[in-house]
Amino acid sequence: MTRQASLKVSLPETKLPHSQVPAWQQVAGLTLRSVFLIALAVLTFRVALPQNETIATAYDTPNDLIRLVLGFAVCAWLVIELFRTPRDAGGYRSWLYIGAAGIPFALVCLYYTW
């Protein structure tokens, strides 16, 4: 004897109830998220540059070339993520907390690497 379980609604069609996001939380979350991602992109760009050379001579040493390519790929990914917004109220709340904690750290790192 086998038992079959049937679902009335398939999982991709289920929707979570939408909770209202306060306007101040949405603006603060997006602002802190944007500042954090921009700071990370600038920090990644700065670290990815060749140490003692220009970008034109980065092809001479494979380590600098690999660091340059990976750094630009991460920068491109961060810029793409900058234009994607959170999908729910929890995303805005999370970016509010992450941004408040991460922005000072990212700015200090940016200051010392420059």
Q: Is the CB of residue 4 less than 8 Å from the CB of residue 73?
A: no
pTM for the full model? 0.74
One-letter amino acid identity for 94?
S
Q: Residue 82 falls within a domain, yes or no?
A: yes
The two three-digit tokens of residue 102, written as one number? 């991460």
- Asked if residues 68 and 58 have their Cβ atoms less than 8 Å apart, the reply is yes
The answer to whether residue 15 is domain-embedded is: no
Instruction: Identify whether 33 is part of a domain.
Output: no
Tell me the C-alpha distance between 94 and 92, whole Å: 5
Total count of domains within the chain: 1
First to last CA, the chain: 70
Q: In this predicted model, what pLDDT tens digit does every residue of 32-71 receive, in sequence order?
A: 999 999 999 999 999 888 776 666 666 677 788 888 899 9
**Gyration radius from the chain CA atoms:** 21
Residue 99 domain-assigned (yes or no):
yes
Write out pLDDT tens, residues 79-91.
999 999 888 888 8
Residue 7, CB-side half-sphere exposure with 13 Å CA sphere: 6
Range of the domain at 90: 39-113
Q: Which is higher by pLDDT, 18 or 107? A: 107
Say if 19 falls within a structural domain: no
